[in-house]
Amino acid sequence: MRPLRIIVATADAERLRGALIVASSHAALGGAAALFLQLDAVGLLRAPIAAPQDDAHRAAGLPDLAAVLAEAQALGVAISACQSGLALCGMTAEALPSGVDVGGPVGFLQATDDNARLLIA
């Protein structure tokens, strides 16, 4: 199965939720999956992790954003935060959820070979 690599390019919690769900599904099927949160999107990882639609998701019996993130990580989805995004959001690497790496777009793309599926969310 081809690796799946997703760039989350905006601070839209529902795009992050969707990217995490797709990446988790791919990982559950045995594929490698990775997310890179670019610039403002890094702010979505600020504690406590929450999304405006979390109440609606919980009411429908679905997990909130924090649970979706935890499940993705448990499935082996690699998650990286843009180091410039950390500065932009006034955050430090220590403020990120455990297991989230810090890097940049060049490194993320260097790790994306010609066989990988690259998506922008």
For residues 48-70, give the mean pLDDT: 98
- Full-model pTM: 0.95
Candidates 65, 104, 58, 60; CA nearest to 82 is: 104
% of the chain with per-residue pLDDT over 90: 100
Instruction: Count the domains in the chain.
Output: 1
What is the domain-level CATH number for residue 84?
3.40.1260.10
pLDDT digits (tens, 9 = 90+) for 5-18: 999 999 999 999 99
pLDDT digits (tens, 9 = 90+) for 92-104: 999 999 999 999 9
State which residues form the domain around 27.
4-120
